Amino acid sequence: MRIMVDTNIFISAALFPKGRAAQALYKAMMPPYHPVVCDYVIDEIHRKFQEKFQNKTHELEAFLYAALPAFDIVSTPDEVIDAESKIRDIKDRPILRAALNSGVDLFLTGDKDFLESSVVDPRIISVSVFLEIDL
């Protein structure tokens, strides 16, 4: 099962390695899941750390160095698709585009713009729900 992981999960896991987001990220990296991340999310992670956590960039780089080899890194298509209009935050729309283009089954996020959207494919799932799933 292909699962794309959102920016906020990576950031929370990097900052709080024993937290629930980290537990969900580690679960997503284990079979039967096949973890996916898009280049847009990786860029956004770096940008957010520069804006909000400049003093923790070394920790982020070490975290990504360890985690990213387990992920398929996919490109974010440039062409806008109709389904994007279901996401309120325009800056999040390329992430949905990448998820749809890469054929993921699940999208793991803590972002309310995704969680409260009417998107059903891929299934958008919160950390707490994901941690309760037993496949």
37 and 4 Cβ atoms separated by less than 8 Å: yes
Burial class (CB in 10 A: 0-12, 13-18, 19+), 115: middle
Over range 125-135, report the average pLDDT: 93
Is pLDDT of 25 > 90? Answer: yes
Specify the DSSP class assigned to residue 86. Answer: G
**What is the average pLDDT score of the chain?**
94
Specify the DSSP class assigned to residue 103. Answer: T
Specify the DSSP class assigned to residue 124. Answer: E
Question: In the prediction, which pLDDT does 134 show?
Answer: 82
